[in-house]
Structure 1
Amino acid sequence: MDVVVIETPQLGDRTYLVHDGSVALVIDPQRDTDRVEEAARTAGVRITHVAETHLHNDYVTGGLVLAGKLGAEYLVNAADNVSFNRSPVSDGHVLQVGRLTVRVVATPGHTHTHLAYVVREDTHDGGMEAVFSGGSLLYGSVGRTDLVSPEDTATLAHAQYSSVRKLVSSAAPEAALYPTHGFGSFCSIGPASRANASTLAEQSASNHALTDPSEEHFVAELLENITAYPAYYAHMSPLNAAGPGPADLSVPDSVDPEELGRRLGSGEWVVDLRHRIAFADDHLNGSVGFEYGNGSNFTSYLGWVIPWEQPLTLLGSRTEVEKAIRDLARIGIDSPDAAVGLEGDAGNGLSRLAPGVPHSSYPHGDWSVLLRERQPGDLVLDVRRPDEYKASHVDGAINVPVYELLRRMDGLPQARIWVHCATGYRASVAASLLDRAGRDVVLVDAKYRDAAAAGVPLSRQDSV
């Protein structure tokens, strides 16, 4: 048995291609299925089965499209209410994929109908085993239990405690563990480790869900540590239950200058993908900055901050736009328009893309600039999550998480606003939103962990 890991770091998830050298099973494919097909071609195997551990809350699945294209069986829990034909499976179901025996294990917790898959290679000595746990048992943690409904959160937390125990007893201790979530995904909760690989035995010895002898304590701790998750999650499970279609990853023709100017003037969402400092120094008035970079924050925060199903225009280099279209397709934002022509950090193409549209800018600096130039009456705005703010914050700062800023902006005082976060990324998004609204803003482009050393007074010294 060989397991090919297909990473989606932009969402903190993994897809798996499991094969015996001839035929393969795919588990939890993302919507851009070309990556899975390329992995299968490279391995020289034919995909005969595609399986879902659950109806995903953080991305649009590519499972239905992939299975249909390849004529593969599509394994989905029989209890899931879906609008498409699938091969229904449930707890205890066993099927054969070439020399691989696949056993289905019900593991409710992350969702009511969550499944895991235990795969064993058929050999004379029993063969190796691998456990594909989806959003059940993760590396050091478990999948969050609050994505179904507030009323179900505690019940699912209790189910999660039982399910991970059932799962570790379903295979040998040395079985490799392959979760879908837990690599930066907002679907995980608790003290996730930075491990890149693990076994059931290792998790049994270190994962708090398995080492905590008290179910009540585990559940209370889990519920206490629940934090916010992206707003677009509300749309993912319904899309997956309805049966999503293929992703259109093509780059559209560039929007003509007159039309781009009209969109900016009418308040449509024009997203500039350049580096946050390049944006701060010079950008089209009315645009917002979501630095693409390596994409690790881009998808989640754009889907979280910008209202769902609003017209969207991407502004950047062709490479950035192409990557951003792929990333957004994974969360159901299809076929955004684009204005292509900004290469690298250079902003000299702005006037060519939208002649006649005024430009804007705002200052930026590190903690030393805040200390040196902040005036009485200025506001320090912390756009981190409430739990981050509660742990430690700049003296006198107020907290409005970046994902709440649009609806709470009118409540901010009319003052110069110094905006910061943990790394500068969320602050840069917030600064662009404030600038778009005509507010006087300064971007603090610095890591929060460096604030104390720079001499910034904090409410409580953090442990970093």
Structure 2
Amino acid sequence: MKFKRIKTPGIAHNAYILATKGIGIIIDPRRDLDEYFDYAKKNAINISYILQTHRQEDFVLGSKALKELTGSLIVAGENPVSVNADIQMKDGDLLEIEELIIQALHTPGHTPESVSYAVSFKDNPENVWAVFTGDALFIGETGRTDLPDKNKTAENAAILYDSIHEKILPLGDHVLLYPAHGAGSVCGGNIADYDESTIGFERTYNKVFTLSKDEFVVHKLHERIPRPPYFKLIEKLNFEGGAAAPINWDSIPLLLSKEFEANAKSGLIIDTRLPEAFAGGHIPGSYSIWLEGLPVFGGWVAEENKPLYLILERNEDMKKALQHLARIGIDNVKGILAGGFEAWRDAALPIDMFDTISPQELQESTTEISVLDVREITEFEDEGHIHNAEHAYVGYLPDHISDVIRELPTDTKLAVTCSVGHRASLATSMLRQNGFKNLFNLLGGMTAWNTLKLPLEKGKSEKTPLDQISIEKDFPHQ
């Protein structure tokens, strides 16, 4: 047997290829397929089966595209969501492929249709070798439980707890654990930053095993992970098995500055340079999203049918930027600024900018400068925040700008912070578009603040916090 984990950077996605006697099985493939085909070709593998653990939320599945190219059979659990599947497996059903036995285990809680696949060998069928858990059980954590209905987060947490204890735990401590996501995924909370684990090892520290069911439910309610708007698009695409492989990216034009300016008026601009560069000068009205942040935050600002235009640090970043966006279903990039921001600057076209500030400078000016913390609510509360800081998650700013302006008028001197400055740069670009004049990005963010051992507070802010934007309006009380 051959086995390969293939990671997707930016979204922390794991796909897996198994091969038995030349027959290939891919678990949860993404839509750009070249890396899978390269491995299959080098190892004389005929891709014949596609296993879906669930309808993914954070990336576009490649099942449909792969089936069209290879004739592979799509396998999923028995559920109305699995309409694209050629084989729907009931809980406990077996699929025999050459030397392998694959058993479907219904493990709902993250999503209702979630299925894990326990794999054993025909010459030792009583002992499971590995389990592919999708987003039910991660290394160090479990999947979020708010996706089917954020008002049923607690109910789904209890369901997930039972799924893992009744279906996965009995497989045995020796069983290898292969989830669909790793550290940094938006599909779970604090996923551990390593790739290898077993059920036995997870049993010693993973909260789904060390907490009671009631305690686990409280833990999942405390997560309050933001839900990006692009999840809705991906749900729609993945209901049909995903989308075709991305278009030929070489066909996307490089536009000279004047042409870029004219065309982008009807669209949206994303600048992928680092925060320091963006603060020093950028196209008015553009969004600041660093290159590696595109596969998450590109989906917070891009719109499905609105033309998108990109500014890159280097020409060689083009393929990576387009890959990042395509993987979350954004295919409407209509142009890239030829020569980058330098060409725009040299053409004497309009430029906007805002200030940056160091932790030392902010600490000395806290009576004159207000602070807006745009990290996730658990980062703000559990990791600590600057005294009197307001909190509003960066993704929610555009939809709730009136709430922000009520607490922080647009002429306020405002320092924006996150963990290091990337999300803060996106937030400052959003705030600038909504009339804020005196903005500062806290470079180094809370990481630099903590390095200098400057004062922190934990828990909720003593002020009336803007974090109610995300808790009450986007994550109603359970």
Normalization by structure 1: what TM-score?
0.89
Inter-partner Cα distance in structure 2 for 1:48 and 1:170: 30
Picking from 416, 419, 424, the partner of 1:422 is 419
Cα pair 1:248 1:335 within 8 Å, conserved: no
Residue pair 2:61, 2:243 contacting (<8 A) in 1 also? no
Q: Determine the structure 1 residue equivalent to 2:374.
A: 383
Q: Which residue of 2 aligns with 1:10?
A: 10
Does the Cα contact within 8 Å between 1:129 and 1:171 map onto a contact in 2? no
SS at match of 1:245: coil
Q: Does 1:334 align with 2:331?
A: yes
1:168 touches 1:204 (CA, 8 Å); kept in 2?
no
Q: Hey, what does 1:173 align to over in structure 2?
A: 173
Q: Matched residues in 1 for 2:119 and 2:385: separation?
A: 47
Other structure's SS at 2:29 match = coil
The answer for the alignment partner of 1:362 in structure 2 is 354
Change (3 A) 1:452 1:109: closer
1:303 aligns to what? Answer: 299
Output aligned runs, 1:106-145, within 5 Å.
106-123=106-123, 129-145=129-145
Write the distance in 2 (CA, Å) between the matches of 1:239 and 1:330. 11
Find the counterpart in structure 2 of residue 348 from structure 1. 342
SS at match of 2:162: helix
Q: Measure how far apart 1:230 and its partner are.
A: 1.9
Aligned to 2:219: 221
Deviation at 1:335, TM superposition (A): 3.4
Cα 1:90/1:454, change in 2 over 3 Å: same
1:244 maps to 2:235: no
Q: How big is the shift at 1:204?
A: 2.2
**Residues in 1 aligned to 2:137 and 2:166: alpha-carbon distance in whole angstroms:** 10
Cα-to-partner distance string for 1:327-347 (whole Å, 9 max, x where unaligned) = 11111111312224346xxx4
Cα displacement (A) at 1:82: 4.9
1:387-433 Cα deviation digits (max 9, x unpaired): 22223211222112111222333413122221111111101111222
Distance in 1 (CA, whole Å) between partners of 2:135 and 2:369 is 44
Distance between the aligned counterparts of 2:263 and 2:52, measured in 1? 40
- Given that 1:272 and 1:288 are in contact with CA atoms closer than 8 Å, whether structure 2 keeps it comes out as yes
Indicate which of 325, 328, 337 corresponds to 2:322.
Answer: 325
Q: Which residue of 1 is the match for residue 464 of structure 2?
A: none
**Does 1:210 pair with 2:209?**
yes
Contact 2:154-2:217 within 8 A present in 1 as well: yes
Change (3 A) 1:27 1:170: farther
State the shift of 1:121 in Å: 2.5
1:143-292 map, 5 Å: 143-169=143-169, 171-189=171-189, 191-212=190-211, 214-249=212-247, 250-251=249-250, 252-265=252-265, 268-292=267-291
- Deviation of 1:182 after TM superposition, in Å, equals 3.5
Contact residue 377 and residue 415 of structure 1 kept, 8 A = no
SS in 1 for 2:224: coil
Corresponding letter in the other structure for 1:235: L
Are the aligned partners of 1:367 and 1:444 in contact in 2 as well (CA < 8 Å)? yes
How many residues matched? 450
Contact in 2 for aligned 1:109/1:158 (Cα 8 Å): yes
Q: Report which of the two has the higher share of helix.
A: 2
Matched ranges for 1:60-99 at <5 A: 60-82=60-82, 84=84, 86-99=86-99
Return the alpha-carbon distance in structure 2 between the equivalents of residues 281 and 323 of structure 1. 24
Matching residue of 1:441: 439
Question: Secondary structure of the equivalent of 1:221?
Answer: helix
- Structure 2: gaps (5+ residues): 461-478
Looking at structure 1, the residues matched to 458 and 240 of structure 2 have their Cα atoms a distance apart, in angstroms, of: 48
Give the equivalent residue in structure 2 for 1:315. 311
Change (3 A) 1:11 1:243: same
> Is the contact between residue 103 and residue 117 of structure 1 (CA under 8 Å) also seen in structure 2?
yes
Q: Which amino acid aligns with 1:359?
A: I
Partner amino acid for 1:210? F
SS in 2 for 1:324: helix
Residue 29 of structure 2 corresponds to which residue in structure 1? 29
> 2:27 & 2:345 partners in 1: Cα distance?
47
Shift of 1:101: 1.4
State the alpha-carbon separation in 1 of the partners of residues 315 and 239 from structure 2: 33
The answer to whether the 8 Å contact 1:78/1:88 transfers is yes
Tell me which moved more, 406-415 or 7-16: 406-415
Distance 2:81 2:171 in 1: 29
d(CA) in 2 for partners of 1:186, 1:277: 26
Identity percentage over the alignment?
Answer: 27
Q: Provide the secondary structure at the position in 2 that maps to 1:41.
A: helix
Change in CA separation of 1:47 and 1:223 when aligned onto 2, cut-off 3 Å: same
C-alpha separation in 2, matches of 1:96 and 1:195? 31
What does residue 399 of structure 1 align with? 391
Per-residue CA deviations over 1:70-109 (Å, capped at 9, x if unaligned) read: 1111112231335545222221221122221111111111
